[in-house]
Amino acid sequence: MEERLKTVEALKIADPILEIEHFHLYYGAKEALHDISLAIPRKQVTAFIGPSGCGKSTLLRSFNRMNDLVEGVWTTGAIKLDGEDINTLDIDVIHLRRRVGMVFQKYNPFPKSIYENVIYGLRIVGVKNRTVLDAAVERSLRAAALWDEVKDRLRESALRLSGGQMQRLCIARAIAVQPDIILMDEPCSALDPIATSHIEDLIDELKQEYTVIIVTHNMQQAARVSDYTAFLYLGSLIEYDETNKMFTTPSIKQTQDYITGRFG
């Protein structure tokens, strides 16, 4: 415990976009996340790793208040987005979700056209100008590395795309509203290796514009893709460090055991 606290404080992140301070999450009486404190750096890729059920997805979903949809969830502690606590009652959750976008484990395009899928976020805000929408579609699809493949069939149903394409479409949909943070909950677990490598290349480009937080159970992916990694176990944060350092010289034994495959 002591070692853990030391590493988190020693890691001085200048200008963090997200500061989590003593965050606890409960499902009714059961504590799922215990005293999480960390800082997410701006325009970098941060990965959450850990065995199944350790709470990494739960933590990720707290960043855009998606846990509100689950019955009986309550939290204590603060999560500060650019200094403003998003865990309070009077925060506009809808506005928050425009600043913090999310890509899910199972790609979920809407049963609409590709065009309509990408601009969904813009339409619900009330943007009607065709030029603005067209530009947003092209920009987002290019950024998601999907433009060349679908530019001739924007009006076709999105459900006709392949799995990898649909996931990239969901990424395009998330970035169309130009969020500050993109949350990715195991985005490649439903995809084949080729599609996975496409997404990983994409993440590398995305971090120039956006902050990316990715949850993954694939350690090699975390090592390839991320700049900072947080290791969670049974609802607690065990270690949080720069990826290079964590995967070569982890400070805590538990981390080393996990990374080398001794458990999990």
Partner 1 sequence: MIKAPYLSTTTRSTQHRRGTPGEPWVWLTAMGLTIGLLMVAYLVGLILVEGLAAFWPKRIAQIELREDHRAHLAGRFLAGKLVKIQAKALQNQDTAAQAEWQIMVGNKDAYGFGFLYIDEADVVAWQYPRDLMVIERLEYGEAIGIPLALSLHGGTIIPATAAEFTPRFQSLVADVNQRRQVIRRLEKHDIGRINHRMEDLRLQQRLLEQAQPPGSAVPDATLAPIQRAMTTLQAEYEVLAQQARTLRLQQEEHRLLYRLATGEERQLILGQIVQYTLPNQLTTLQRLGLFLHNMWRFWVEEPREANTEGGVFPAIFGTLVMTLLMSVAVTPFGVLAALYLREYAQQGLAVRTVRIAVNNLAGVPSIVFGVFGLGFFVYLVGGTIDQLFFSATLPTPTFGTGGILWAASTLALMTVPVVIVATEEALAAVPRGMREGSLACGASKWQTIQRVVLPAAAPGILTGLILAMARGAGEVAPLMLVGVVKLAPTLPLDNLFPFVHLDRKFMHLGFHIYDLGFQSPDADAARPMVFATTLLLIALIVLLNVTAIFVRDRLRKKYATGAF
User: 174 or 222, CB closer to partner 1?
Assistant: 174
Nearest in space to 151 (alpha carbons), one of 169, 167, 163, 164: 169
x/- letters, 96..115, toward partner 1 (CB under 8 A): -xx--xx-x-x-xxxxx---
Stretch that binds partner 1, among 82-90, 95-103, 214-222, 224-232 (CB under 8 A): 95-103
Q: Distance of CA 27 to CAs 24, 73, 104, 128, Å?
A: 10, 5, 21, 41
Q: What is the size of the binding site for partner 1 (CB under 8 A)?
A: 27
x/- letters, 37..56, toward partner 1 (CB under 8 A): --------------------
* Spatial distance between the Cα atoms of 121 and 157, rounded to a whole number of angstroms: 18
> How many C-beta neighbours within 10 Å does residue 125 have?
10
Single out the residue of 18, 39, 54, 66 in contact with partner 1 (rule: CB under 8 A).
Answer: 66
Which residues within the stretch 134-193 sit at the binding site for partner 1 (CB under 8 A)? 157, 159, 170, 173-174, 177
Q: How far is the CB of 12 from partner 1 (least distance, A)?
A: 32
User: 113 or 256, CB closer to partner 1?
Assistant: 113
Please report, in angstroms and rounded to a whole number, the separation of the first and last CA atoms in the chain: 20
Q: Which two tokens stand for residue 223?
A: 């090592």
User: 124 or 132, CB closer to partner 1?
Assistant: 124
Q: Distance of CA 42 to CAs 46, 81, 126, 133, Å?
A: 10, 11, 29, 27
Name 61's Cβ contacts closer than 8 Å, sequence gap at least 6: 67, 102, 183, 185
Q: How far is the CB of 86 from partner 1 (least distance, A)?
A: 14
Stretch that binds partner 1, among 31-39, 92-100, 136-144, 206-214 (CB under 8 A): 92-100
Q: Is 91 in the site for partner 1 (CB under 8 A)?
A: no
> How many C-beta neighbours within 10 Å does residue 132 have?
12
Stretch that binds partner 1, among 43-51, 117-125, 211-219, 220-228 (CB under 8 A): 117-125
Q: How far is the CB of 37 from partner 1 (least distance, A)?
A: 25
DSSP SS3 for 89? coil
* Spatial distance between the Cα atoms of 27 and 16, rounded to a whole number of angstroms: 28
Residues that bind partner 1 (CB under 8 A): 64, 66, 69, 94-95, 97-98, 101-102, 104, 106, 108-112, 120-121, 123-125, 157, 159, 170, 173-174, 177
